Amino acid sequence: MTALTCFKAYDIRGRLGEELNEAVAQRIARAFAEVLGAERVVVGRDCRTSSEALADAVKAGLMEAGVEVLDLGLCGTEEMYHATAYFEADGGIEVTASHNPMDYNGMKMVRAGAAPLDAATGLAQIRALAESQNFAPAKPGGEVRQAKAARGAYVRAVLSFIDLPVLRPMKILVNAGNGAAGPTFDAIAEALSKKRAPLSFICLNHEPDGSFPNGIPNPLLPENQPATAQAVLAAGADMGIAWDGDFDRCFLFDHLGRFIPGEYVVGLLAEIFLAKNKGASIVHDPRIIWNTQEIVTRLGGTPIMARTGHAYLKQALRDTGAVYGGEMSAHHYFRDFACCDSGMIPWLLIVELMSRRGVTLADLVTERMAAFPSSGEINFRVADAEAVLERVLAVMAPKAVARDNTDGLSLDMGGWRFSLRSSNTEPLLRLNVESRGNSVRVAQAVAELRALIEA
């Protein structure tokens, strides 16, 4: 029995050839169908050059288990989520490596209702069966059908989140990064035009191209942000939007070309949902929390902290009935979107908020960024993560006023706090620091913690 190293904390991700290939994808899909007892499964793929062949292998594995496959073709991960719930399928699989390097691919998988697979049971059972290959006999009846109604239903669901009549004229720069976002965005833009929404769009790197001629689409990396920022300024746009490869994350730029860190977008979306859902609960991740918690509490909502990662945020929404959940990494989750994340709903809601208030995106976030400055996520590659965490804890814990272990180590130092956690997907320690109105203290704290981590 060969171990499959492409299984990660809550999805499949691996280097092509050695960790993930068509034979492995077929085995995983067949195991997925057997473990879930699936009769109908939605399958989609991103635009990577390896994704179509891997998706074909996934469909073959599902059909061996007698599954009816609803094929979405090229689409975003969120379209797979929506279609799984919309068609009442028993599960869904998106072939994607999102923002990983060119020589990687992967699979994001959900069960009925687009609910996440539990890592300790569902994902572990799929892995064990795919490794052992002790499959039940092949079943007849497997077939592939094109899910032609999926995109239209998805577009209607996305637009149901906004109040179209309040939108004011706005010019928006969109950068698909040659990922999967372009065709789906076009369908949304066409629907907006038919409803006479006064929005105009300038498109950059819009055509899907799995060779990624402008680099892997990952707008969270600082080196990838100037392309969008400069295009916003050159176009005189009111805001900019950039997506990652499977567009389940969107990143915003104001009219000054300034990148807006994700934690401040979480605060804005929390504000939007609390205006429409008085007293609602809002879920957030544990990395940068003070801005979100202050907004939610002040507006009469209940902030709920969940462990970082899409499976944990989604489950928290389902467990608590929260209307919205957000991560500083630009994943945003919506109760009325099967508790799943979307990279299209957030920017539409921000456009609505800008329209309602008659202000710029810069107006919405500048004061919040000054009130709660943060470091952004800083990554450290270390030999022994546990030893580093223990060293930091020994030095910093005696001076802390509060400690939280929701995800890694979080210490509240009074006027500032930090989160230090191991990545769920990469061999890294991730540090985030924030303060109340003191950006100098943030820089000092980063320097102090860096010295401890790198000692």
Write out pLDDT tens, residues 142-154.
999 999 999 999 9
Residue 200 lies in a domain: yes
Query: For the residues of 112-168, what is the DSSP string, one character each?
Result: GGGPBPPIIIIIHHHHHHHHH--PPPPBS--EEEE-TTHHHHHHHHHHTTS-GGG--
Q: Which of 86, 114, 148 is the last residue of a domain?
A: 148
Q: State how far the Cα of 162 lies from the Cα of 247, in Å rounded to an integer.
A: 19
Q: State how far the Cα of 396 lies from the Cα of 187, in Å rounded to an integer.
A: 51
Q: Which of 95, 128, 148 is the last residue of a domain?
A: 148
| 215, 348: one domain | yes
| 303, 240: one domain | yes
Residue 171 lies in a domain: yes
The per-residue b/e assignment along 228-265, b for 16 or more CB within 10 angstroms, e otherwise, is bbebbeebebbbbbbbbbbbbbbbbbbbebbbbbbbbb
| 52, 33: one domain | yes
CA distances from 454 to 386, 392, 400, 408 (A): 13, 10, 21, 18
pLDDT for residue 121: 75
What is the residue range of 28's domain? 12-148
| 222, 337: one domain | yes
Residue 234 lies in a domain: yes
Query: Catalytic: which of 50, 98, 329, 375?
Result: 98
| 294, 428: one domain | no
Q: Which of 370, 401, 423 is the last residue of a domain?
A: 370
Residue 3 lies in a domain: no
| 222, 365: one domain | yes
pLDDT for residue 425: 64
pLDDT for residue 138: 96
- What pLDDT, in 10s, does the model give residues 281-326? 999 999 999 999 999 999 999 999 999 988 899 999 999 999 999 9
| 174, 131: one domain | no
Residue 115 lies in a domain: yes
CATH of the domain at 275: 3.40.120.10
* Weakly modelled stretches of the chain, pLDDT under 50: none
- What pLDDT, in 10s, does the model give residues 252-275? 999 999 999 999 999 999 999 999
Q: State how far the Cα of 223 lies from the Cα of 226, in Å rounded to an integer.
A: 7
| 449, 338: one domain | no
H-helix segments, 277-309:
290-298
Residue 190 lies in a domain: yes
pLDDT for residue 455: 87
CATH of the domain at 384: 3.30.310.50
pLDDT for residue 56: 98
pLDDT for residue 76: 98
Q: In this structure, which amino acid lies at residue 454?
A: E
Active site residue 193: no
Residue 263 lies in a domain: yes
| 131, 174: one domain | no
| 119, 46: one domain | yes
| 311, 205: one domain | yes
| 164, 307: one domain | yes
Q: Among candidates 152, 194, 189, which has minimal Cα distance to 171? A: 189
Domain count, the chain: 3
Residue 5 lies in a domain: no
Tokens of 133: 């290959």
In this structure, are residues 116 and 3 in contact, taking their beta carbons and an 8 Å threshold? no
